Amino acid sequence: MTATSSTTRTDQRKAKPKPRARRGRQSRVVKREQIIEAARSITPEWGQEYVAEAFEGDPDAVFRLMCALHDYQRASMAHHLYMARVRPEPVRVALEFAWTQSHHYQDVLYKARTWRQFVRWCRYASFELPAGVPDPVTIYRGVPNVTAARAAQGVAWTLDRERAEFFSRGYGGNANRPDTTPMVVSAMVSRRMLMFYSDERKEQEVIPETLPPSGWYRLRASGPTQKGTTNVG
């Protein structure tokens, strides 16, 4: 065997594509097709026309698709879009819609299965706070008839103290009942700790990455009282 033929064979071996890499790409394509098929299977007939464009990354198509779905299907669609690695903006549209425009918003947490995975969804979606929000920023949460410690464990917070106080008095048919005990808690956090933002319902809703937020405290009429390391409810 000559040196030339040995070199040629070595170059040919180097030129061959790696089977494992090729199989990996094929697997990802198949998985994406399976995800899209699963998305089609939960979509009503009147929403089928939006599926393809939604998974191609069209935010308007995602919005129309979410409108076409039943309440209980929206969290699943947000999950499918994330798993298909559609670009962040359409995933953000779906996730915000599933959380704010559904009576089954807790299904989003159910679909994520773990808090860590829900954090990944929100971080991938890249929610942005309004430009005028300071750093650090004060957030609030209002809930009726619970301890301060339990209130601070809740997921949904707001940048608007008045909205928190509104929710602390109850809402719907239970609003402002004489036996209601309002509870409002607050915390000062860095902007980067807020992984979700929506003003879709004019509530300036935010979700902090860590629950309860560090240094939370209960609010009274006279202002903050005791730090959140102790149950003050």
At the top level of CATH, the class of 137-227 is alpha beta
Pairing of β 137-144 and β 194-198: unpaired
pTM greater than the 0.85 cutoff: no
Per-residue pLDDT of the chain (233 residues; tens, 9 = 90+): 555 555 555 555 555 555 565 655 656 677 999 999 999 999 999 999 999 999 999 999 999 999 999 999 999 999 999 999 999 999 999 999 999 988 878 899 999 999 999 999 999 999 999 999 999 999 999 999 999 999 999 999 999 999 999 999 877 555 566 667 899 999 999 999 999 999 998 999 999 999 999 999 999 743 444 444 333 33
* Sequence letter at residue 231: N
* Sequence letter at residue 9: R
Q: What is the model's pLDDT at position 7?
A: 53
Helices (H), 16-105: 19-41, 51-55, 59-68, 74-83, 88-100
Q: What is the model's pLDDT at position 105?
A: 80
Q: How far apart are CA 140 and CA 181, in angstroms?
A: 17
Q: What is the model's pLDDT at position 58?
A: 98
| H or E segment and range at residue 123 | helix 115-125
CATH 3.20.170 residue ranges for the chain: 137-227
Q: Shortest CA distance to 183 belongs to which of 232, 230, 222?
A: 232
Q: What is the model's pLDDT at position 222?
A: 36
* Sequence letter at residue 150: R
